[in-house]
Amino acid sequence: MSSLKKTSMLALLIMLLSQTIFAQAVKPERTSPATVAKGAINGAAVTISYSSPAVKGRKIWGELVPYDKTWRAGANEATIFETDKPLKIRGQSLPAGKYSLYAVPGEKSWKIIFNSETGQWGIKRGGETTADPAKNVLTVMAKPMKSASFNERLTYVISKSGFELLWENLAVPVNFK
pLDDT exceeds cutoff 80 at 147: yes
Question: Helix, strand or coil for residue 120?
Answer: coil
Instruction: Please say whether the beta carbons of 58 and 32 come within 8 A.
Output: no
Convert the pLDDT of each residue in 23-49 to its tens digit: 555 555 768 999 999 999 999 999 999
Distance CA 72, CA 11 (A): 49
In the chain, the percentage of residues whose pLDDT exceeds 70 is: 79
- List the one residue out of 161, 175, 172, 1 whose CA is nearest residue 71: 172
Asked if pLDDT for residue 5 goes beyond 70, the answer is: no
**Half-sphere exposure for 161 (CA within 13 Å, toward CB):** 5
- Which residues make beta-bridge pairs with 80? 49, 100
Task: Please give the mean pLDDT across all residues of the chain.
Answer: 88
Q: Quote the pLDDT of residue 4.
A: 65
Sheet of strand 44-51: strand arrangement: 34-41, 44-51, 75-83, 97-104, 110-115, 136-142
Residues 83-138 pLDDT 10s: 999 999 989 999 999 999 999 999 999 999 999 999 877 666 666 777 889 999 99
166-to-17, 22, 55, 106, 163 alpha-carbon distances in Å: 45, 37, 12, 15, 10
Q: Can you give the pTM of this predicted structure? A: 0.81
pLDDT for the residue 64:
94
Residues 148-171: what's their mean pLDDT?
97
Say whether pLDDT at 13 is over 70. Answer: no
Specify the range with the lowest mean pLDDT, choosing from 131-135, 149-153, 168-172.
131-135
Helix (H) or strand (E) holding 38: strand 34-41
Nearest to 77 by CA among 119, 20, 109, 29: 119
CA 88 – CA 86 distance, rounded (Å): 7
